[in-house]
Amino acid sequence: MSAVGTGESPPLSPLVDRGARGMHSRSELSGDPGGASPAKEKICVTRQYQFCAAHRLHTDALPDDVNRAVFGKCNNPNGHGHTYTVLVTLTGEPDPHTGDVTDIEAVDRLVNQKIVERFDHRHLNHDPAFLHLVTTGENLARVIWDELVNEVPVGRLEKIGLIETRDNYFEYRADPSPGQKPPSVPWSPGAPGACIPAVS
């Protein structure tokens, strides 16, 4: 399920302003400190999404007793669930005519198709991306990054934030690789979940 821009503000979210067209996290000015070149404005825009998913923290690389010792109740064979909040931050220079950094509607379509529809009401351990990965928040944030980074223009995906519970917030960012493929979508310049039992 998608819940863009709805619900209670996450306590660990870095957002400071919620606007109708997106949530702006910060604005930075960069340029020649000597004033030889005009400053360029860099703005980050963050969009918020939610999905519900089950998972179990477990790795076949460790014996069962070690898994239980390391992951505790989250290693329960029946799994458990969260309402995940995903914060997708994009960065760029605002369009001089519209003031927009990006096409918000295109971003929403992309994230809903690539992330929300894929994970919502699913068991993360059954997803191919976690065949050799433990379904931790750290790994899920990285998987979401990998799914999105090649679908947006190079340099525009700034970071992925992931709220798993009231106390767990994960953040992932990486430098874009030189071999990134071009974007596949048009782009104009321009309360967090509690742990609940999973139903087997």
Residue 25 lies in a domain: yes
Has residue 150 been placed in a domain? yes
Within a domain: 7: no
The catalytically annotated residue of 74, 80, 138, 171 is 74
Domain assignment present for residue 57? The answer is yes
Q: What is the dihedral of CA 108, 197, 191, 140, to 10 degrees?
A: -40
Tell me, rounded to whole angstroms, the distance of Cα 47 from its chain centroid. 9
State yes or no: is 74 an active-site residue. yes
Instruction: Assess whether 164 carries a catalytic annotation.
Output: yes
Q: According to the model, what pLDDT value does residue 12 have?
A: 43
Q: What is the pLDDT of residue 28?
A: 40
Q: Is the residue at 144 inside a domain?
A: yes
Residue 1 in any domain: the answer is: no
Look at residue 34 and tell me if it is in a domain: no
Phi, psi of 69 (to 5 degrees): -70, -40
Q: What are phi and psi of 102, to 5 degrees?
A: -155, 180
Q: Select which of 58, 82, 147, 164 is catalytic.
A: 164
- What is the pLDDT, as a whole number, of residue 186? 35
Find the CATH number of the domain harbouring 152: 3.30.479.10
Owning domain of residue 117: 17-29+40-197
Please calculate the CA angle 125-126-130 and round it to the nearest 5 degrees: 55
Q: Where are the alpha helices (DSSP H) in the chain?
A: 64-71, 104-111, 117-119, 137-149
Answer yes or no: is 6 within a domain: no
pLDDT score at 37: 53
**Total domains, the chain:** 1
Q: HEC string of 38-87?
A: CCEEEEEEEEEEEEEEEECCCCCCCCHHHHHHHHHHHHCCCCEEEEEEEE
Say how far apart CA 107 and CA 156 lie, in whole Å: 11
Within 10 A of 16 (CB to CB), how many other CB atoms are there? Answer: 10
Tens of each residue's pLDDT in the chain, 200 residues: 544 444 444 444 433 333 334 444 444 434 445 555 556 778 999 999 999 999 999 999 999 999 999 999 999 999 999 999 999 999 998 888 888 888 889 999 999 999 999 999 999 999 999 999 999 999 999 999 999 998 987 568 999 999 999 999 999 999 755 555 444 333 333 333 333 333 33
Q: What is the pLDDT of residue 113?
A: 96
Cα–Cα distance between 19 and 129 in angstroms, integer?
34
